[in-house]
Structure 1
Amino acid sequence: MNLSIVIPLLNEQESLPELYNWIKKVMTSHNFSYEIWFIDDGSTDNSWQIIENLSQQDNNVKGIRFFKNYGKSQALHAGFARTNGDVIITMDADLQDSPDEIPELYNLITNEGYDLVSGWKKKRYDSVIGKNIPSKLFNWAARKTSGVKLHDFNCGLKAYSKNVVKNIEVSGEMHRYIPVLAKNAGFSNIGEKVVIHQARKYGQSKFGMNRFINGFLDLITIWFLSRFGKRPMHLFGALGVLMFVIGMLSAGFIGFSKLWKLYHHEPAILVTDNPWFYISLTTMIIGTQMFLAGFLGEIILRTKNNEERYKISKEI
């Protein structure tokens, strides 16, 4: 199997037949052995019926239907788990990603030795305020935080070697940062290719302000996981010990000042009237809690059960 194409979708009934015909034309003209995985992420229109019809017409078409909308990351996770291709292509179902880009992306993986190649929609047809500016902010922050020098992390059109998709864990809404996940997993040969971006032909964009906020929260999460995800005690334990030591030093200062005043026969205030008492008490409590948080994180990390975060209704 040369190619596996994974396409997550939500309510794209108008686009699917045209997208399928376009992909088939490209695959046939380049003599690719291929499979297409349509992942229906809880569509409420006729998307699944169209996928079933396409599957009956073409054995290369396969599909998964979720019970409800679990998110793009979960859809990609399900698709990656089932792919058989040596090269995996992901793309959106809204016809904004061009299948004509697939042969060159395939070549970059197989002949140029890249582990992952991400598309770069250098010229976009989205709303400047609604999507372009947030996208630029995302990409700037992701580059600075991760060290992965890509212009367009959120582009759905990407190519991966089989080893990458079988060794990364895509969860939550981390699909935006798959290149970062790949880098953290040890895949350093990550490239970028300028791709054609087309205006949306059918339906409406699923982008909203909640995705803008969630994207930055996910960026913070992935920064933390990349550094302390396998060793939470190194962060919380160290901070806990530091806070506890500050508290102990504060308590020592209180005791020393009281003894000093007693030695010099000066009137000494009650310990509870000294503001340093509350500083030391608070920091010791916080330090203990942070140490326990790191300890519990280590226990959870070693006993967690990697259950799937989605439920599949149908699979063809």
Structure 2
Amino acid sequence: MQISVVIPLLNEEQSLVELYNWIAKVLRSNSFSYEIIFIDDGSTDGSWKTIESLSEADDRVKGIRFNRNYGKSQALHAGFIEAQGEVIITMDADLQDNPDEIPELYALIKEQQYDLVSGWKKKRYDNVITKNLPSKLFNAAARKTSGVKLNDFNCGLKAYRKEVIKNIDVYGEMHRYIPVLAKNAGYNKITEKEVKHQARKYGNTKFGASRFINGFLDLISIWFLSKFGRRPMHLFGALGVLMFIIGFVSAFLIGVSKLYKLYHGLPNVLVTQNPWFYISLAVMIIGTQFFLAGFLGELILRSKREKERYLIRKTTSNI
């Protein structure tokens, strides 16, 4: 199979048939062998019934239905597990991503041997204040922090070599940072393609302003995990030892000063009346806690077990 199209969705009943027809037309006209995988992330409208109807009419359509809303990252994770195509295309279900881009994305992966091709919605049809400007700030911060030079981390339209999506773990809300996860896993042939963006035709966006706050928090998380995720002792242990040494040396100097003044009969105060004594003590305690945090992190890392992250209520019969 050449192409798997993975589409996470939430309450997009109105757009699904039109999206399916558009994708199928593009793929058939280019003689691709394909599958389309819809992941219903806890929709409360008729999205799942539509997916079941599409699957019954075309066995290349597969559906996965979550027990409740778990988020886009979990939906992509489930779709990536099921995907069998040589090239995996992800796109949103709201008709803002253009299926006509698929053949060129496929060619970049197969002919130019890229690991990942990310869409860039250079011209957007979103609200400038609530989406465009925050998105520019977010993308600038992501580029600076991650070292991955993309203009649009948030674009849902992306193409991957099968090996990439089978060897990275998309969890939490890390769907924005799949290119960073891929780079951290050693897949460095990452590029960007300008794609057409379209105004939303049906319904309303499912993402509020909080997604940018969550995005920046996830950015900090992925920076930490990429640097110290497999060696937490290198960060917490180093900080702990450094702070303990600073606190110990400070306390030692306070003690030396106390003895010096006693020996020379100079006016002196109790050690407990010196505020630097308490500062030194606090620094040593915090340093010890950092060290223990790193030690516990190492133990947890070595003993962790995979847990179920989402519950699938139902799948179509062809899965």
- Pair 1:120 & 2:112 matched: no
- Pair 1:82 & 2:95 matched: no
1:308 Cα offset (Å): 2.8
1:274 Cα offset (Å): 1.1
1:123 Cα offset (Å): 0.4
1:62 Cα offset (Å): 0.4
Quote the RMSD (CA, aligned, Å): 0.7
Corresponding residue for 2:212? 212
Q: Deviations over 1:199-243 (max 9, x none)?
A: 000000112121111011011111111111111100000000011
Query: Following superposition, which runs of at least 4 residues in structure 1 exceed 6 angstroms of deviation?
Result: none
Matches within 5 A, 1:134-145: 134-145=134-145
Letter aligned with residue 272 of structure 1: T
Q: Deviations over 1:257-284 (max 9, x none)?
A: 1110111012321111011210111001
Counterparts of 1:130 and 1:301 in 2: how far apart (Å)?
A: 39
TM-score by length of structure 1 reads: 0.99
1:113 Cα offset (Å): 0.5
Match of 1:63, SS?
A: strand
1:131–1:207 CA contact under 8 A, matched in 2 = no
Matches within 5 A, 1:55-66: 55-66=55-66
Counterparts of 2:188 and 2:263 in 1: how far apart (Å)?
A: 66
Matches within 5 A, 1:157-306: 157-306=157-306
Match of 1:15, SS?
A: helix
Counterparts of 2:310 and 2:200 in 1: how far apart (Å)?
A: 28
Letter aligned with residue 181 of structure 2: L
Letter aligned with residue 196 of structure 2: I
Match of 1:35, SS?
A: strand
Corresponding residue for 1:7? 7
Counterparts of 1:134 and 1:84 in 2: how far apart (Å)?
A: 36
TM-score by length of structure 2 reads: 0.98
1:40 Cα offset (Å): 0.2
Counterparts of 2:48 and 2:305 in 1: how far apart (Å)?
A: 31
1:291 Cα offset (Å): 0.3
Q: Deviations over 1:124-164 (max 9, x none)?
A: 00000010011101110000001111110000000000110
Match of 1:81, SS?
A: helix
Counterparts of 2:207 and 2:64 in 1: how far apart (Å)?
A: 23
Counterparts of 2:262 and 2:161 in 1: how far apart (Å)?
A: 74
1:304 Cα offset (Å): 1.1
Counterparts of 1:239 and 1:170 in 2: how far apart (Å)?
A: 29
Q: Share of identical aligned residues, percent?
A: 75
- Residue-pair matches, total: 316
1:302 Cα offset (Å): 1.1
Corresponding residue for 1:102? 102
Match of 2:14, SS?
A: coil
Q: Deviations over 1:45-79 (max 9, x none)?
A: 00000000000000000010001110000000010
Corresponding residue for 2:23? 23
Q: Deviations over 1:177-211 (max 9, x none)?
A: 11011000000000100000000000001121211
Counterparts of 1:242 and 1:30 in 2: how far apart (Å)?
A: 61
Counterparts of 2:60 and 2:75 in 1: how far apart (Å)?
A: 19
Counterparts of 2:306 and 2:106 in 1: how far apart (Å)?
A: 31
